[in-house]
């Protein structure tokens, strides 16, 4: 646990008692603060009270009196589409609003670090797609090569739940736009921006606000090194803002669409080969085609970003290459769950938006595509022309018929996962990939994308 610093003896309100909220309450208490908790869910309040926390409705008169700060969980709106009433009340009262990420960066460093030979480092990864895989891959490379590492944030443990890092340790964080948007402190040593595509637009009042939330990771704290995907205009702009000159190697540019040239530091992948260039010269190359845990160009982008971070931390190219080959992949993200009679079954339930689904569709030569769910803002128009590898789509979800009408491939309305998997298994031929890449949220039929991916996996195993 990381005890929160700066609030000793103070009363701090915590809104939302999920993983991050309850973790923040514990760390506040460990740091000598009084945590005053609230969640609209009675079961969440009971869990907090069972740990000895005081729960009180923060909208009641006087509830925010003498409160030094309000700590808000990431799922609770603080500005758009409209502030949560408790957040609005705190802002009106002049109470600082923060989240567990801000508390983490304010509290991580201690006087013990003065005795370390190598100070702990924090790597923070954000972006629309691939940030979970990139963060997990960085953590894997470090641990596989003998560096102590902890993975936390939007993946793994809550940031305040980790152990205090020791001499030479690395903390790898995955951070969502909800987390970077509100944190009052953001000071990673290395910051990573994977890419940007439309997502969570209601929470950020559009694409510009969404990018601004991601950009805060770089603008607020000034990382020592920035690893930036430049295949979208926003990434190219961000790299330009962070670099003092074309040869400034504090910025490592990453691409999977073109060869990067120039006097700076670049890592890119073309036709399955990763290349590292510095000062206009190639210094390393890795064949990614045989790395089973990272199929497709979108995963090659993740590999490039993770490679760049590992190089920044002093690891040699061949050492990194060996670790890439032992990476098992993440559940629900291009996860191979079975192979039978020449057919591969891949669970990419995390492909919850159009852009991530398009990248999954580009990773395999002939696809039986299971898609559908709660459609996101903007529809499916961006997928048109990108479905050339799809032999047929099997559409699930409560609005499966409306979803299917937007597709430019042959489709069958299946509604539920069991039917979709059964039909795909029956019709699949050797060389096909049965791919779950929904291009939609899961909440019309499942609690989350993990539950949807688990259902797919279970249905596949039943059929084989």
Burial classification of residue 63, based on how many CB atoms lie within 10 Å of its CB (0-12 exposed, 13-18 middle, 19 or more buried): middle
Please tell me the distance from the alpha carbon of residue 307 to that of residue 145, in angstroms, as a whole number: 13
Neighbours of 376 (CB within 10 A): 18
Residue 329 assigned to a binding site: no
The C-alpha angle 451, 453, 458, rounded to 5 degrees, equals 95
Provide the residue count of the chain: 464
**Contact in structure between 153 and 159 (CB atoms under 8 Å):** yes
Residue 133 assigned to a binding site: yes
Residue 131 assigned to a binding site: yes
> Which tokens hold the place of 113?
């670090």
List, in sequence order, every beta strand (DSSP E) within 288-427: 335-340, 343-347, 367-371, 390-396, 411-415
Please give the DSSP secondary-structure letter assigned to residue 8: T
Residue of 358, 332, 329 lying closest to 346 (CA atoms): 332
- Which residues are registered as beta bridge partners of 192? 125, 227
How many angstroms separate the Cα of 397 from the Cα of each of 226, 401, 417, 457? 40, 9, 8, 17
Residue 82 assigned to a binding site: no
Residue 387 assigned to a binding site: no
- End-to-end CA distance of the chain, in Å? 44
User: Is residue 399 classed as helix, strand or coil in its secondary structure?
Assistant: coil
Please tell me the distance from the alpha carbon of residue 173 to that of residue 167, in angstroms, as a whole number: 18
Distance, C-alpha 341 to centroid of its chain: 34
**Contact in structure between 395 and 380 (CB atoms under 8 Å):** no
User: Is residue 443 classed as helix, strand or coil in its secondary structure?
Assistant: coil
Please tell me the distance from the alpha carbon of residue 381 to that of residue 389, in angstroms, as a whole number: 17
Residue of 160, 200, 222, 189 lying closest to 75 (CA atoms): 200
Residue 132 assigned to a binding site: yes
**Contact in structure between 148 and 100 (CB atoms under 8 Å):** no
User: Is residue 346 classed as helix, strand or coil in its secondary structure?
Assistant: strand
Please tell me the distance from the alpha carbon of residue 27 to that of residue 97, in angstroms, as a whole number: 17
Estimate the crossing angle of helix 207-219 against helix 233-242, to 10 degrees: 30
**Binding-site annotation: residue ranges:** 127-133
Q: Which residues are annotated as part of the binding site for ATP?
A: 127-133
């Amino acid at each position: 646990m990381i005890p929160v610093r700066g609030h000793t003896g103070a009363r701090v309100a915590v809104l939302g008692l999920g993983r991050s909220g309850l973790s923040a309450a514990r760390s506040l208490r460990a740091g000598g603060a009084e945590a005053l908790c609230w969640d609209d869910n009675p079961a969440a309040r009971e869990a907090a009270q069972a740990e000895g926390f005081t729960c009180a409705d923060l909208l009641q008169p006087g509830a925010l009196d003498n409160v030094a700060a309000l700590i808000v969980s990431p799922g609770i709106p603080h500005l758009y589409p409209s502030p949560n009433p408790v957040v609005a009340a705190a802002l009106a009262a002049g109470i600082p609003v923060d989240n567990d990420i801000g508390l983490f960066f304010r509290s991580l460093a201690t006087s013990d670090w003065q005795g370390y030979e190598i100070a702990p480092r924090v790597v923070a990864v954000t972006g629309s797609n691939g940030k979970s895989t990139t963060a997990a891959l960085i953590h894997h490379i470090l641990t596989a090569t003998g560096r102590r590492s902890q993975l936390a944030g939007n993946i793994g443990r809550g940031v305040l739940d980790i152990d205090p890092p020791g001499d030479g340790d690395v903390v790898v964080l995955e951070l969502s736009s909800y987390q970077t948007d509100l944190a009052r402190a953001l000071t990673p040593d290395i910051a990573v921006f994977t890419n940007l595509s439309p997502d969570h637009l209601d929470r950020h009042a559009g694409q510009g606000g969404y990018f601004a939330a991601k950009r805060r990771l770089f603008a607020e704290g000034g990382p020592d090194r920035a690893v930036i995907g430049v295949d979208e205009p926003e990434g190219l702009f961000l790299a330009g803002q962070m670099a003092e000159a074309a040869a400034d190697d504090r910025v490592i540019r990453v691409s999977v669409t073109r060869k990067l040239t120039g006097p700076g530091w670049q890592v890119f992948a073309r036709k399955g080969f990763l290349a590292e260039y510095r000062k206009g010269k190639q210094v390393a190359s890795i064949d990614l085609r045989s790395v089973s845990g990272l199929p497709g160009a979108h995963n090659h982008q993740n590999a490039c970003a993770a490679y760049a971070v590992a190089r920044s931390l002093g690891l040699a190219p061949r050492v990194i290459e060996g670790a890439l080959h032992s990476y098992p992949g993440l559940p629900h993200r291009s996860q191979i769950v079975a192979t039978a009679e020449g057919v591969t079954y891949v669970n990419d339930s995390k492909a919850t938006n159009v852009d991530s689904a398009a990248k999954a569709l580009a990773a395999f030569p002939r696809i039986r595509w299971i898609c559908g769910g709660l459609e996101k803002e903007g529809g499916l128009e961006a997928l048109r022309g990108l479905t050339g590898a799809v032999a047929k789509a099997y559409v699930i979800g409560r609005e499966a018929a409306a979803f299917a009408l937007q597709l430019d491939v042959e489709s069958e309305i299946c509604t539920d996962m069991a039917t979709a998997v059964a039909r795909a298994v029956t019709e699949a031929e050797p060389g096909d990939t049965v791919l779950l890449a929904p291009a939609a949220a899961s909440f019309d039929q499942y609690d989350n994308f993990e539950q949807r991916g688990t259902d797919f996996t279970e249905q596949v195993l039943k059929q084989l």
